Amino acid sequence: MTFPEEVYSILEDIVGHEYISADPVICEGYRAGPAGYECGLGYERVMTRVPGCVIMPRTTEEVQKIVKVCNRYKIPYVPYSTGFYGARSHPHAENALLIDLKRMNDLEIDEKHLYAVVGPGVIYSQLQEEAMKRGMYIVIGGGGSQCSAIANMIGDGWSPLSYRIGLPHRRILGAELVLPDGELLRLGSLALQDDPFWGEGIGPDLRGLLRGYTGHRGFLGIVTKMAIKLLPFQPEKLEPTGVSPNTALQLPENRVKWINFTMPSFESIKKAMYEIAKAEIGAAVTRVPLFWRIIARASSKEEFWELWSKENEETVNAFFVLRVLLIGFTSEKQLEYEERVLMDIVKELGGEPRRTRPTDESWFKNADSAGMWLMCGGYVSVDYVIETIEHATAQCKNFAQLKRSYTPPLMPDYADPGWFQSFELGHQGYSEFLIYWDPDEDTTRVDHFYLETSKENIRKRFYTALLSSHQPLYLTGPAYGPNYHKWLLEIKKEFDPNFVCHPPFPLSHDFFVEQVEWMKPLKDWESPNLNVILPKEIAARIKTSSQNNEGEKTETS
């Protein structure tokens, strides 16, 4: 099936011939797998497709025109900022149009009013540096510096720096959203004027359409412009040092300082987090699992395994390290004050400071997130939840237990209760569960585990990031809300009547479970006929070609 010629020529007229291609080699370059988030797992192998055509618009108007053409000719399309998100940010429908937004990379900063206006092609790395040049900073989401700022702001968007700065939802100011049918929605102050300095709605806030706790992965339109809050930082420069691969920011320790503490117990780490939060000090507070220590020490995959295989459940569970970031926003004296308070707290709880390097490579510029794939080749965060610190620690421990019976094929982590941290000055806690596997091994049980975590969250009444596009909608829907899925689908239907915007999201995991043999034993919930919810011609493009679960051959030109 080749991309329809008549549609191609219309699209070509919109962007110019240089910025569109249906060449099978160009399209192959956009394949999701075989590596990246979730890649190598069943979902990626079965659900993703190489696009039928790739287009690169430059302006919001072009995006609108493209989307309208897709609606008219029933062409499924997928917005794509960097492609880093893995399987779920790639086409799932046959012969879809991939809208590569990298050319929309304008950046403007209003320094006085602490915000930047960006297009989807701007990545955090660029934005953070521009902010820091002007005495400001942002939170770079855990995904890393390489993430599109907009995509991450509407998808995930937190890191240990969220302890002080909070949820990304609040940091979205005025924005432009091209709705799935091609209409343009201007959000925040853009609704009434051209300065996107403020994000609230006129009355009800339609920023609610942009995301949920986590994002839509592109099924409810394309954000073509967004103003993002920048936060006041401090005036000293964080100097880049070192040569690849050991590059890091040198911290001006009178103003920016990480301190690691050895604590006597897991409980004392929790207590410390609460106390630090109540004292309203700090800029980041996180537990450090032993795993990270080993990663930091190892200079290669082989060295990692050499070191890691020496550890066991005992050593892992006896490793109690708390890492705290202090920033002297107001002055050097602030940092000194906060350090005194911090030492008071740690001392009370029986902890000790450890020698800590005055550098940062992981959070201010998050330059090492890609390293998560180094150890095993396969990695995904199978949940990342913001709730309370109590919820985080309970969920971590529960998850560690669940993982046991899936190890192998999961990487052995000796029942590590994971990493958790404090957010919004202790009003929230954060837990993230990372899993690793070798994509060359049989990963069926990883697929099972992934779904099991959803069921476990429901059973144990935990909140979860993996709702909507991430897990079967008809499994999580009835449980949360309840019935959030009903509203989500109504909204989807209203704004995307042709179901052309990244189909079959948000039902992609439902489709996956229905279509593959090895997932069927886990299906114990009701779902309607998915092929009826989607228009027939779109549903037909999602079906896997019989039992071919390795992806199909690329069309020759």
Residue ranges in 492-511 that form contacts with another protein under rule CB under 8 A: 494-495, 506
Specify the residue, 545 or 554, whose C-beta has the smaller distance to another protein. 554
Specify the residue, 39 or 451, whose C-beta has the smaller distance to another protein. 39
DSSP for residue 153: H
292 forms part of the interface with another protein (CB under 8 A): no
Specify the residue, 243 or 532, whose C-beta has the smaller distance to another protein. 243
> Closest separation between CB of residue 33 and another protein, Å?
8
For 101, the token pair is 């937004």
Q: With the C-alpha atoms ordered 307, 309, 314, 320, is the resulting torsion angle positive or negative?
A: positive
Residue from 25, 315, 352, 357 in contact with another protein (CB under 8 A): 25
DSSP for residue 522: G
In the shown chain, the binding pattern of residues 312 to 331 toward another protein, with x for contact by CB under 8 A and - for none, equals -----------------xxx
Residue from 10, 296, 307, 341 in contact with another protein (CB under 8 A): 341
Chain positions 175 to 204 lying near another protein, rule: CB under 8 A, are 179, 183-187, 189, 191-193, 195, 197-198, 200-204
Strand partners, 215: 211
Closest CA to 153 of 220, 216, 244, 241: 216
Chain positions 512 to 531 lying near another protein, rule: CB under 8 A, are none
Chain positions 447 to 476 lying near another protein, rule: CB under 8 A, are 458, 460-463, 467-468, 476
Residue from 210, 272, 325, 533 in contact with another protein (CB under 8 A): 210
61 forms part of the interface with another protein (CB under 8 A): no
Residue from 68, 103, 448, 523 in contact with another protein (CB under 8 A): 103
Residue from 2, 72, 113, 401 in contact with another protein (CB under 8 A): 113
DSSP for residue 309: T
Q: Are the C-beta atoms of residues 134 and 90 closer than 8 Å to each other? A: no
The C-alpha atoms of residue 407 and residue 417 are separated, in whole angstroms, by 15
Q: Are the C-beta atoms of residues 249 and 140 closer than 8 Å to each other? A: no
Q: Are the C-beta atoms of residues 216 and 469 closer than 8 Å to each other? A: yes
Distances (CA, A) of 472 to 79, 87, 462, 478, 542: 22, 15, 17, 11, 15
Q: How many residues line the site for another protein (CB under 8 A)?
A: 173
For 137, the token pair is 């900073």
Q: Are the C-beta atoms of residues 44 and 38 closer than 8 Å to each other? A: yes
Residue from 242, 350, 358, 497 in contact with another protein (CB under 8 A): 242
The C-alpha atoms of residue 438 and residue 409 are separated, in whole angstroms, by 8
Specify the residue, 13 or 239, whose C-beta has the smaller distance to another protein. 239
> Closest separation between CB of residue 254 and another protein, Å?
13
